[in-house]
Structure 1
């Protein structure tokens, strides 16, 4: 296996680990996947967050308020240049809020998000440097019926 392909494989594994930690709600594993300094994150609809404290607090908040989340990644592309890697993908997200009074999972909601994950190579492997996710806006049926404005 060539070195560039092994780098791509390692970045793909780190990217998969990032989403799997979110799905399991494993805050400790998620924290370990991020660099120790100079990190940034933009969640859909949120302001830009910077620094390890702000970024990890945001994930703790999301995990505390999300009973169920699953990511189906599509259109994944990995580029590695030196010790930096960029992963672009579409996050097809299925999530549910905390249980309602009856003890059942809250309603499931689907969301389509495009994401860019930037990784940096460290002595401990590839670590997340930045995550930026933006919602994909789709036209509603009403917009389609009325045509462009």
Structure 2
């Protein structure tokens, strides 16, 4: 791998990490800065269970809404893979999420909930660095034991 390609890979990984760190910190300005804003390209986002959001206004509004209703969120990323093609990068990963909503009855934090989401983050190189073009998160449905593992005899 060439040095330029290694540098691109490192820059994309840093941008991806910055995205999740901004979410954890509730940094709306940081999130806003990380999304592509070239005036010509539509951005898109799919949060788990949501319809496709298209356009800068809709996408950023969704993050404002999530941040306003989430008191605590932490991402542990696993299975991170980066693919590069010229000025576009695709990052796939598993988001191991721990989050808590608004507290009840005077508690400092609401109940914590764990969730697994597989995500694809598409980045595009700009003069300001790598910016998110599209984010798609899908929930991982836990496997259930259906009891079909038992051997049957005829």
**TM-score interval w.r.t. the shorter chain?**
over 0.9
Gaps of 5+ in 1: none
Alpha-carbon distance between aligned partners in 2 of 1:132 and 1:112, rounded to the nearest angstrom: 13
* Counterparts of residues 52-131 of structure 1 (less than 5 Å): 52-131=56-135
Q: Normalized against structure 1, the TM-score is what?
A: 0.94
Structure 2: how far apart are the matches of 1:107 and 1:58?
A: 22
Query: By how many angstroms is 1:103 displaced?
Result: 3.3
Cα distance in 2 for partners of 1:38, 1:145 equals 43
- Counterpart in the other structure of 2:152: none
Task: Decide which structure has the larger Cα Rg and report it.
Answer: 2
Give the TM-score normalised by the residue count of structure 2.
0.91
In 1, Cα distance between the equivalents of 2:34 and 2:148? 45
Query: Deviation per CA, 1:3-46, whole angstroms, max 9, x where unpaired?
Result: 11100000000000000000000000110000114100000000
RMSD: 1.2
Bigger helix share: 1
In the TM superposition, residue 147 of structure 1 has moved relative to its aligned partner by 3.0
Unaligned runs of 5+ in 2: 150-154
* 1:65-120 alpha-carbon deviations (Å, 9 max, x no partner): 00000000000000111000000000000000012131320000000000000000
CA–CA distance in structure 2, aligned partners of residues 12 and 102 of structure 1: 39
